Structure 1
């Protein structure tokens, strides 16, 4: 359990890094966009300001998840993490829809003045930076198995795509191909919405106590390997953030005493907590007639 709290503490690094980078890049894009007369780059900079809010939500979710169980939350505050992922998903979908809306408006925009090419290079540079942040957060999320940090990583990647789309549109205007801008924006907008939907689906699945059936079969296999277990009547599991809690009813020989049956239940608990990193196991023993 202590390691779980340390992992959440480590996850804060990813959120803090995202906040710092978003602040720097948004200021950079807005400044260069204004100087280079690029509305696309300025819009990209404003997009990053909304991502600051999403990263702050992830950071708050990680901090709340570290709180121990109390009278109002006897199971702990683990579910603050998927709630933070939901907030990030909503913001991503909102940004994706905004990108699509802007692309639709640009079709009717007859402006012909092309921005300075430096705006395109700025977009590509920012995309490279965001991709580096994405790689860092993705590795961190996989290491600590954090849903909210992975959501932040996917948000980082979507912003890299936005910057690439911005650069493509600006470069297209340099060569008299204004249609590249809305096409790139539509593709990027759809990618962002798709990523946001995937994060929302995963977080809402966990919050409604959904669980991977294949993982339950893995648990069953480990339980049946324990001497004395004659069968499994029921097995259920639910997620608390990135951690799992398992409830299982096992069948043992009806002639066993209470002490022997209890020892088998302890073996089941140890097997699941050590082999599968389950934080808590509730075992009920029934006789197998």
Structure 2
């Protein structure tokens, strides 16, 4: 469980707060999406959850963040790393090895995973991301998308209680992006891992997550179930969020009382909406 109360943060040397009075709770087992325009504070909020703020990036920190009962200010980074697995937007910066299998092995050994479990964990993680064939490859020879899958594999092999990901499909094609979200759903539903993900592919995100928050200039302006948030397309657009056209259309049709069904989050849903309007 993640409990954030009155969180504000300004980076050292910053002219204004990157986060402003954030109150948010992510319950155990949630699959939580976070969206907003560039500079809205999404990455900073993830850094506050995993303890990078305030332990690595210094600044003025107000309020509190608790992760599985651990106060992030008073807990050591290694304690927080045991509870929260992170895939950063600059995922290459978190890689420490030159070979794929060594990258995954590094985390497993550092978190004292029993030796008789290591091989299975590594193989399972590589299979789930579809890169088992890259196990012995030099990371420097991989494409950006392949490196992103390596970073994700290294974290999911650890099976953390909480997983936070910052644009995990940024370097991936549509097919691979869907594969990653299907994997995240499996981790969430079958293993009970709490997931918080920042993603720019909003339609894809909304198809998988159960809850959604929208950020603007360091604040959370919308927070709730996916259907409830998507009904606020005007607020999303005013916050600089590139709202999917089908969502905007559905919202306008609802305002005109031409449509009373759910907000579509995928193509089949959109087709159902059109059929219901056309009779």
The normalised TM-score by structure 1 is 0.24
Higher strand share: 2
Higher helix share: 1
Name the structure, 1 or 2, with higher relative contact order (CA <8 Å, separation 6+): 2
The structure with the largest alpha-carbon Rg is: 1
The normalised TM-score by structure 2 is 0.25
